[in-house]
A and B are shown apart, each in its own frame.
Chain A
């Protein structure tokens, strides 16, 4: 069994064929769909597909372009760069622990990893392909691939479909799981020396005064640091301020007329800011985006759906001001309840950042501060 060394720890826990796999300290078992059980061969195939640059219009963009494991499975760019250097509207979220997400993409427009990976190759500012045919053609013409698909899915080359491709990639992504951070060792491993005094104070703030835990969930035995829900915290509001109604109305009309949501949200800067509304058309979800996990947050900068905040200190300031950079900035009418000025002192803000830095897993530790 040949797996990338970095992932041996997670993969070693694989209970092949089971509905769940065990997980590192601080994380629940990885949920695995019944129709896509984990197997070593499938994971290996998914790993290769994940890194294959041929699945793009210019042959230079793979999944790993924007989800680079040397950058904690992000690209460290505000918004991702696709083929020909084109940029979209959204920051690349990390793949790490995406296995725990109940919806994928910032607006949750795909229900699972299998659905997610099909979209970027055919997005006009990402992979840039018109459809999935070139991907299947490349795979069918590659002997190693056809052998692997045959082994994993028992399919002839001409029967290989995007569903198979997506299942393999998803299986690989389900091995990109990482816990065992200083916080986990302190909270769940019984090591009271794992956090500094500032970090312990930060944890208390996280749970109480700073209200982080309301959405970035911690439980008594595990923590995935997200409620898997959608909230309007105020990011990106300035861009469509005063144009929310018009943008929403025009988008709904174009959607009725057949416009593709995936393409529109990544190519139309204003529509992008509608967030979850673009998917559900629910007026209560304008500007709402999915709560991201905070695991490895110190090594997955920049932050927010548009990558507009560079540092954790910026993020803490943003929340401390009630969902805005400056306390005098206007607020979005659609802002979620619960986002409000926190009145943190400078010391408290520092403690909170110190705590967030304790959420980095050992395998990403060397990347911290880069």
Chain B
């Protein structure tokens, strides 16, 4: 974690210095663009993982069943996933797919690959209202 957060903190510090006397809780349009770009980099990585980039033991990839990450419904999590018998977050369902259709090893819920996958999945679903719990 440390190694990944440090450059980010440095960047943020530079941003504040460049902005001169701005208070710590203020930020510029440039900040927003840069932060969005940081997120988009995760989306891009997730898009590749989703389309065959995951180490899938049987070569099956997420997009085979979910073109453009459809039919995942990230806006409905957490929800009671009847087939897992409990209320789960999206990452748990992603792991189910990795373990079953992909016949591969699940990811830790905070694994960077898991984060990137969710970045992509959410991005393809942007603009859809939250409906937690919806089946």
Once bound together, how far apart are the Cα atoms of A211 and B86, in whole Å?
Answer: 13
Binds B, one of A46-54, A215-223, A307-315, A321-329: A215-223
Is the C-beta of A284 less than 8 angstroms from some C-beta in chain B?
A: no
B4 at the interface (CB under 8 A from A): no
How large, as a class, is the contact surface on chain B?
Answer: 10 to 19
Number of contact residues on A: which range applies?
10 to 19
Contact A219 B85 (CB under 8 A): yes
Measured in the bound complex, the distance between the Cα atoms of B86 and A213 in whole Å is 10
In contact, A207 and B99 (Cβ under 8 angstroms): no
A220 & B83 in contact (Cβ 8 Å cutoff) = no
* Interface of chain B residues 60 through 106 with chain A (CB within 8 A): 80, 82-87, 96, 99-100
- In this assembly, does A208 line the interface, its C-beta being within 8 Å of a C-beta of chain B? yes
Would you give 24 A-B contacts (Cβ < 8 Å), ordered by A? A207-B84, A207-B85, A207-B86, A208-B84, A208-B96, A208-B99, A209-B99, A211-B100, A213-B83, A213-B84, A213-B85, A214-B83, A217-B82, A217-B85, A218-B85, A218-B86, A219-B80, A219-B82, A219-B85, A220-B80, A220-B85, A220-B86, A220-B87, A223-B85
Shortest distance from the beta carbon of A128 to any chain B beta carbon, whole Å: 43
Min C-beta distance of A156 to chain B, whole Å: 49
Which residue of chain A has its CB nearest to the CB of B84? A207
CA A12 to CA B84, docked complex, whole Å: 33
B91 to chain A, nearest CB (A): 13
Interface residues of A (CB under 8 A from B): 207-209, 211, 213-214, 217-220, 223
Given contacts A207-B84, A213-B84, A223-B85, 17 further A-B contacts (CB under 8 A): A207-B85, A207-B86, A208-B84, A208-B96, A209-B99, A213-B83, A213-B85, A214-B83, A217-B82, A217-B85, A218-B86, A219-B80, A219-B82, A219-B85, A220-B80, A220-B85, A220-B86
Shortest distance between the CB of B23 and any CB in chain A (Å):
46
By CB atoms of chain B within 10 A, which of A208, A209, A219, A220 has the most?
A208
Q: How far is the CA of A155 from the CA of B65 in the complex (A)?
A: 61
Q: Which residue of A lies closest to B92 (CB)?
A: A208
Instruction: Determine the residue in chain B with the shortest Cβ distance to A209.
Output: B99
* Chain A: minimal CB distance from B70 (Å): 21
A340, chain B: closest CB distance, angstroms: 8
Closest A residue to B100 by CB, please name it: A211
Within 8 A of A (CB), among B91-123: 96, 99-100
CA distance A218 to B83 in the complex (A): 8
Q: In the complex the two chains form, what is the Cα distance from A217 to B83 in whole Å?
A: 7
Complex Cα gap A219–B80 (Å): 8
Kindly list chain B residues whose C-beta atoms are within 8 Å of the C-beta of A214: 83
* Nearest CB in chain B to that of A343: its residue: B103
Q: Tell me the smallest distance from the CB of B60 to a CB of chain A, in Å.
A: 13
Contact with A along B39-59 (1 / 0, CB 8 A): 000000000000000000000
For residue B68, give the distance in angstroms from its CB to the closest CB of chain A.
25
